[in-house]
Amino acid sequence: MSDLACVQAIVYGYVQGVFFRAFVSELAVELGLTGYVHNLPSGEAVEVNAEGERKQLEKLIGYLKIGPPGAKVEKVITNWSEYTGSYSGFRIRYYSI
């Protein structure tokens, strides 16, 4: 049986307008994770909610700390919780202001 988990990660820094969400979405799909990523209204952070195998989630967090070219990650805060299975696929969420 695999070790399934859920993680919420808030990534702070220069992470909006640098294709960070697309970077996260592509990685999450490659890692077999489900969930979503979206920009926070502050303009200074991106939120990631992902579920899957803990080992793959830890890999994702490692990539979040680096980010795509053009991004400048200052810090990543994570909050682990139990796997819920509530997501199907991985999505970029867009919000209108």
Helix (H) or strand (E) holding 28: helix 20-30
CA angle 54, 36, 69 (to 5 degrees): 85
Active site residue 21: yes
Query: Cβ distance 26 to 82 under 8 Å?
Result: no
Could you say which of 21, 49, 91, 93 is catalytic? 21
Could you say which of 39, 49, 91, 93 is catalytic? 39
Active site residue 39: yes
**Residues identified as active-site:** 21, 39
